[in-house]
Structure 1
């Protein structure tokens, strides 16, 4: 069965005759391929329009079992494609379910068009009880602090304008979700005259501004005079051309590069200039690299001041010159602290990182004569990945990464998600789609949906999408797998199952140490054990194939090989990898030694 044949409507497509048809038509004209939803009566008009007016094509509906998955699937799709999916959330109650996913997408700076609905604004149109509790005045207030823009149209022409603006703003850097709330009463009004829909190409997203000529000259001078520059590479474009420019930029400057495991793959991690594994928590090695820099360049690096703070409480003394390239301040508000600490900066550039590099690279090329300061040869020595000493008896968290590195071969893997404590020193990123970053806002339960969304975006490309998930994250988001099974979206889910909410064990240990109390009690109220949750059964209940838990390196390799075969055949698969309680690298925890 082809993807398009799933949930294909019967009969002929209806003509545009209802206000909700206008909203559906706008989705089509905006080029949106999919809309994720969990059904609700507040947008039953739009639902009918998607089916009987559009024929469930462009966009095609993706039925989800929870609004959390509606958002996480759209989020994962955007991370893998840099394209916008649409979401539909039912009234105030569905919106409140989805708020965490919206916050994740906001913190991750991804585009997303969210269509909501409220009960009939007109009193006379409300059904007793249900339409009253599902009608909210200014529903956008629930999410206004962590969306880029919201609207509640009052007419069919207003829907056209609102959706044009929402799409334009969501896709304009820095990207973020936008929200359009459709009055259910308005949706069900018959059109009395033709609605003019303009050429949507004339409402394209705006391009990011670039550095001024003076800023480029100053940046070039600082960097070429620098003896020990360090580039903090954060967010960036998915294209291979941008990837190549970033590599060339670092090589010309002879600059060491640091990346973050919280952000998407941005630089080849096996390159000799990539100075340390992608950062989850700053190791002594990373702190030493930052401390030794005379010039530090933040390239859309979200937490520049936090990076400096881990080197010295006097952040202004960390290095001679700091260049910060970001547009993130255009989204900052007083509600969410995702703007992080205010860093000391000598040259601030209002631009995206890749726009800036594209501007500066020709200047650096000209001034260096195209001769890179970094000389090829020598550099990193890659060793064959090795399992932990006890992997034939019990897996350690890092062994999952080792197994993937060993079995990678000629496969093109895309890691849609990795758990906390991922080591990052074995599985190297060679391509911008090798790794898609974290969930943005730390909202537990997003990992399964992110994986499904990424697999949807990369379906048919030959890339194998893997979600490496913690057990807590998976259990909270397990029903997202039903959508993968129903729509035959191939993805491999590997659960690094330590049977604990281990991040909070670390916090409880920190508090016990600060208070001089018993550290060994840290597990109480944290362990997911006695009984163990049957993760394989959870997957099978959603229609996703799985075998049995594995606990040794040999079992893990055999299960991954089996799972890759299933995924290559177009179906999802889940592996429960039972690992020792712990992390592959030490976490940052307030008060911990």
Structure 2
């Protein structure tokens, strides 16, 4: 901490004059937010003062971020661990524009958060010249309305408290997502002469997840009881260990085969005998064979279930009965069809994975199969020395992380499938959601914060591409300020290789020079010093790893340091390539 920065605020003054922002800050405290992530801005100067001088910077404590998109990313990572919203504050229209990419990621990822915005006085006669004219926007929520569950601009402090209560309830109700509450400067700075009487908070709690309808549940049971070769798509779910155990029990009870989506958080143990392998949107190999040979299919809130069905069973081909479980349709809208194709299912159960799986287990009754032990993967060693390939890094990381309790917060494009043993619901946290490059570092910080908040000894590990890392770089500073144990493992090919790969394909199709693909794609001349940048932001960062001979020891050292509480960046120089195959073939 800077020598001129106090360790904490002075004690709040007793019986001081109340302002509208004091009531708003109290509403955040009442909801139990441990932190609020923000990049400071004058439009919510009243709320900032209330957080510090009325609440004493406690519950919530301010997490000062270098960019609004990082503040939102930290909240997304936190929610990926805890399944609950964290508070964020963004400054005026400009801060909201900065934050919007992160909010889109959270929307597509179905992660909850409460985003507090602010604006200059809508009453133009009260605006300061120039600055409050450019930073005041009519219907500011319209900027993010296409990818938030709800937004509001309350007209009084009491209404703002109500908006926060409604927003938290909606954000945390599944399908979850971000909500946005915009505060006029005037209501923040309004003097409160008499404290309003508010109803108890438990009267506006988020509702419990719905139980499946009896008729649909019975039809699903009829199908599954007759099935000899059922298949389960293990899609969206919470990080609940109970839900995790129920999915395993259902697969074992049915004798089903399973798959998980490489873009979604862990849905089933990858070392379970029922697990065939990860998949993306391309269904192929053993996974596709098992789907097409199944005599019943259960889709548990699968990502883009409609197109998955069409890829597995093109129109006009024979298919087994399909049971679709999802309530995601509650938040579908026309701005962006992130929900994918319309699922054509024989039975639709309009609720969440956990309540449906538990009801199916109860309905199936006896005949419990003995629990099947998890297996270990036989992963080949890497060569003794030489250039590092992406598959080499995946294999070396697998061996170095064996037996360690980690949460992989993300993996780069091109990472091999079936490259990580995942045996716990916190073992893998999925993708950014909306594909917004630069979110990975902030999500990792938020995940590490969430792990600490729930009292877990797991360590956050972000496996990032160099493009994702450099775009989100300054968010790693918060790992240092919050003293969070986290490893940022950079697969550094000095390229925005996704686009380089596209240029190769376009040139090949057009009969043009493929060797020109790196032009306009490479981070060279000079190459950024990723380790040096990390050290300047307060993290540990050894020298880059360039040879296979040094990779195993470097990974072991980095994981050891994270286990000891360090925040560390490890720059591993890899070939510019994608791995189009599995690291381990499962049957």
TM-score normalised per structure 1? 0.93
Partner residue of 1:345? 345
Cα deviations by residue, 1:458-513 (Å, 9 ceiling, x for unpaired):
12521111111000000000000111112212211100111111111222223223
Decide whether aligned partners of structure 1 residues 230 and 51 sit closer, same or farther in structure 2, where only a CA change above 3 A counts: same
The answer to whether the aligner puts 1:398 opposite 2:391 as a matched pair is yes
> Which among 378, 386, 410 is matched to residue 380 of structure 2?
386
> Which among 454, 463, 469 is matched to residue 458 of structure 2?
463
The answer to whether the aligner puts 1:89 opposite 2:90 as a matched pair is yes
The answer to whether the aligner puts 1:503 opposite 2:498 as a matched pair is yes
The answer to whether the aligner puts 1:560 opposite 2:545 as a matched pair is no
- Find the residue that maps to 2:203 and give its secondary structure: helix
Decide whether aligned partners of structure 1 residues 500 and 281 sit closer, same or farther in structure 2, where only a CA change above 3 A counts: farther
Structure 1 vs Structure 2 CA RMSD:
2.0
413-422 or 435-444: which moved more? 413-422
The answer to whether the aligner puts 1:516 opposite 2:490 as a matched pair is no
1:413-432 mapped onto 2 (5 Å cutoff): 413-432=406-425
229-238 or 437-446: which moved more? 229-238
Q: Which runs of 5+ in 1 are unaligned?
A: 588-593
Partner residue of 1:74? 75
Decide whether aligned partners of structure 1 residues 8 and 560 sit closer, same or farther in structure 2, where only a CA change above 3 A counts: farther
The answer to whether the aligner puts 1:441 opposite 2:434 as a matched pair is yes
What is the CA-CA distance between 1:278 and the residue it aligns to? Answer: 4.8
Aligned residues of 2:112 and 2:171 also touching (Cα < 8 A): yes
- Measured in 2, the distance between the counterparts of 1:115 and 1:185 equals 15
- Measured in 2, the distance between the counterparts of 1:506 and 1:309 equals 27
Aligned residues of 1:16 and 1:22 also touching (Cα < 8 A): no
Partner residue of 1:121? 122
The answer to whether the aligner puts 1:186 opposite 2:187 as a matched pair is yes
What is the CA-CA distance between 1:337 and the residue it aligns to? Answer: 1.2
Decide whether aligned partners of structure 1 residues 510 and 538 sit closer, same or farther in structure 2, where only a CA change above 3 A counts: same
Partner residue of 2:312? 311
- Find the residue that maps to 1:100 and give its secondary structure: helix
Cα deviations by residue, 1:393-419 (Å, 9 ceiling, x for unpaired):
111112233223212244211111111
Partner residue of 2:201? 200
- Find the residue that maps to 1:545 and give its secondary structure: coil
- Measured in 1, the distance between the counterparts of 2:437 and 2:6 equals 30
Decide whether aligned partners of structure 1 residues 540 and 356 sit closer, same or farther in structure 2, where only a CA change above 3 A counts: same
62-71 or 500-509: which moved more? 500-509
Decide whether aligned partners of structure 1 residues 7 and 287 sit closer, same or farther in structure 2, where only a CA change above 3 A counts: farther
- Find the residue that maps to 2:463 and give its secondary structure: strand
Aligned residues of 2:66 and 2:475 also touching (Cα < 8 A): yes
468-477 or 319-328: which moved more? 319-328
- Find the residue that maps to 1:310 and give its secondary structure: helix
Cα deviations by residue, 1:255-313 (Å, 9 ceiling, x for unpaired):
11010111111111000100113547433332222222222211000211222333354
What is the CA-CA distance between 1:6 and the residue it aligns to? Answer: 8.6
- Measured in 2, the distance between the counterparts of 1:382 and 1:455 equals 27
- Find the residue that maps to 2:278 and give its secondary structure: coil
Aligned residues of 2:411 and 2:464 also touching (Cα < 8 A): yes
The answer to whether the aligner puts 1:408 opposite 2:401 as a matched pair is yes
- Find the residue that maps to 1:276 and give its secondary structure: strand
- Measured in 1, the distance between the counterparts of 2:415 and 2:372 equals 29
What is the CA-CA distance between 1:381 and the residue it aligns to? Answer: 6.4
Partner residue of 1:590? none
The answer to whether the aligner puts 1:267 opposite 2:304 as a matched pair is no
Partner residue of 1:8? 8
Partner residue of 1:223? 224
Cα deviations by residue, 1:424-459 (Å, 9 ceiling, x for unpaired):
424210000111111000000000000000001112
- Measured in 1, the distance between the counterparts of 2:318 and 2:46 equals 58
Aligned residues of 1:385 and 1:426 also touching (Cα < 8 A): no
What is the CA-CA distance between 1:9 and the residue it aligns to? Answer: 0.9
The answer to whether the aligner puts 1:533 opposite 2:528 as a matched pair is yes
- Find the residue that maps to 1:465 and give its secondary structure: strand
- Measured in 1, the distance between the counterparts of 2:137 and 2:281 equals 40
- Measured in 2, the distance between the counterparts of 1:178 and 1:386 equals 47
Decide whether aligned partners of structure 1 residues 58 and 241 sit closer, same or farther in structure 2, where only a CA change above 3 A counts: same
Decide whether aligned partners of structure 1 residues 481 and 422 sit closer, same or farther in structure 2, where only a CA change above 3 A counts: same
Aligned residues of 2:508 and 2:514 also touching (Cα < 8 A): yes
Moved over 6 A (4+): none
Q: What is the total number of aligned residue pairs between the two structures?
A: 576
- Find the residue that maps to 2:18 and give its secondary structure: coil
Decide whether aligned partners of structure 1 residues 13 and 198 sit closer, same or farther in structure 2, where only a CA change above 3 A counts: farther
TM-score normalised per structure 2? 0.94
Partner residue of 1:276? 277
- Find the residue that maps to 2:276 and give its secondary structure: coil
- Find the residue that maps to 1:546 and give its secondary structure: coil
- Find the residue that maps to 1:31 and give its secondary structure: coil
Decide whether aligned partners of structure 1 residues 52 and 343 sit closer, same or farther in structure 2, where only a CA change above 3 A counts: same
Partner residue of 1:370? 367
549-558 or 78-87: which moved more? 549-558
- Measured in 1, the distance between the counterparts of 2:125 and 2:381 equals 68
- Measured in 2, the distance between the counterparts of 1:173 and 1:354 equals 11
484-493 or 172-181: which moved more? 484-493
1:23-62 mapped onto 2 (5 Å cutoff): 23-62=24-63
